[in-house]
């Protein structure tokens, strides 16, 4: 059984890593379109990405929109999660269902609805319109992550702090928030990634001024298959890899420092 699980794990890793074996070499290709294996290698498409505002502007738009979506999502999710997890009130089950509804509705259906609704408000083809639409998709994911953390929270810690004279605000700042901080950070990251990676709503709602990177990549692959797409995919993979390895590197560095201090 253990051997089967190891083999299955290796197969899954190969399946997940296979696209990278194709995409990364293509980012260094000198071909005029996406081609694998490459006929030659150069850095021309990397220079093209970092010097072409047609790619840099959508990248910057995606970062701004994802950051704004993350902030707005957390401002909505944190109080909503506390209310839905800790309190009982009329309509609680309906509120829970509405929080998770965007996960059950196809994005294309939501995109049509948001396009009509935001169009009446004059938010179509604006950064604000994309942020509002992306927030609606990010809320259920952030809510699920944070509610799971809050349900496992030991409220006796809060009661102990309040019995010692701490006000509700000080209790939240010094007891509740530090314990829930990992869950809040993970929820915020999921909201950021959901917004940065979203394509369908961006196609409907973002215009030329608010064009996001996924929409730009979709238009490019549909029209000309620009090899710069492989460059962007490789850069995104590197960013994710660095983000995953940084905590391990930091912990290893801290362990070495502790070991060095112990030897002294």
C-alpha distances in Å from residue 217, one per residue of 50, 55, 75, 79, 115: 15, 9, 30, 36, 21
| pLDDT tens digits along 192-216 | 888 888 888 888 888 777 788 888 8
Alpha carbons 219 and 19: distance in angstroms, whole number: 21
| pLDDT tens digits along 111-151 | 888 888 888 888 888 888 888 888 888 888 888 888 888 77
**Among 4-18, 105-119, 168-182, whose mean pLDDT is lowest?**
4-18
pLDDT at 68: 92
Q: Is residue 159 pLDDT above 70, yes or no?
A: yes
pLDDT at 113: 82
In 3D space, the residue among 208, 195, 232, 19 whose CA is nearest the CA of residue 107 turns out to be: 195
**Among 2-6, 84-88, 146-150, 191-195, whose mean pLDDT is lowest?**
2-6
Residue 193 · residue 244 · CB < 8 Å: no
In 3D space, the residue among 99, 172, 169 whose CA is nearest the CA of residue 140 turns out to be: 99
Alpha carbons 244 and 3: distance in angstroms, whole number: 28
| Chain mean position to CA 112 | 23
pLDDT at 118: 80
Q: Which residues contact 104 (CB under 8 A, 6 or more apart)?
A: none
| pLDDT tens digits along 14-60 | 777 777 777 777 777 776 766 677 777 777 778 878 887 888 888 88
The boundaries of every CATH 1.10.3720.10 domain in the chain are: 53-230
Residue 225 has a CB neighbour count (10 Å cut-off) of: 14
Residue 39 · residue 31 · CB < 8 Å: yes
Share of the chain above pLDDT 70, in %: 96
pLDDT at 264: 66
Share of the chain above pLDDT 90, in %: 3
pLDDT at 35: 67
Q: What is the pTM assigned to this prediction?
A: 0.81
Q: Which H or E element spans position 35?
A: none
Q: Is residue 163 pLDDT above 80, yes or no?
A: no
Q: Please list, residue by residue across 72-105, b when 16 or more beta carbons sit within 10 angstroms of its beta carbon and e when fewer do.
A: bbbebbbebbbebbeeeeeeeeeeeeebeebeee
Q: Is residue 1 pLDDT above 70, yes or no?
A: no
Of 3.40.718.10, 1.10.3720.10, 3.30.300.30, 3.40.50.2300, which CATH number belongs to 53-230? Answer: 1.10.3720.10
In 3D space, the residue among 77, 131, 70 whose CA is nearest the CA of residue 100 turns out to be: 77
């Amino acid at each position: 059984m253990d051997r089967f699980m190891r083999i299955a794990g290796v197969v899954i890793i190969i399946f997940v890593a296979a696209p990278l074996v194709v995409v990364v070499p293509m980012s260094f290709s000198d071909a005029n379109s996406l081609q694998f294996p490459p006929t030659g290698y150069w850095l021309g498409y990397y220079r093209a990405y970092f010097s072409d505002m047609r790619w840099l502007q959508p990248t910057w738009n995606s970062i701004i929109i994802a950051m704004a979506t993350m902030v707005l999502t957390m401002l909505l999710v944190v109080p909503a999660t506390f209310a839905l997890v800790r309190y009982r009130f009329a309509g609680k089950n309906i509120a829970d269902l509405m929080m998770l509804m965007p996960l059950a509705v196809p994005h294309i259906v939501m995109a049509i609805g948001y396009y009509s609704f935001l169009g009446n408000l004059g938010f179509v083809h604006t950064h604000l319109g994309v942020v509002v639409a992306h927030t609606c998709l990010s809320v259920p994911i952030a809510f699920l992550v944070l509610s799971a953390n809050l349900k496992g929270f030991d409220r006796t810690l809060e009661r102990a702090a309040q019995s010692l004279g701490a006000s509700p605000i000080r209790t939240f700042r010094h007891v509740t928030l530090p314990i829930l901080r990992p869950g809040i950070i993970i929820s915020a990251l999921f909201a950021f990634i959901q917004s940065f990676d979203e394509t369908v709503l961006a196609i409907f709602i973002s215009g030329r001024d608010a064009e996001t990177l996924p929409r730009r990549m979709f238009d490019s692959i549909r029209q000309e298959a620009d090899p710069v797409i492989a460059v962007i995919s490789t850069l995104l993979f590197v960013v994710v890899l660095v983000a995953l390895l940084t905590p391990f590197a930091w912990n290893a560095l801290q362990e070495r420092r502790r070991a060095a201090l112990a030897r002294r």
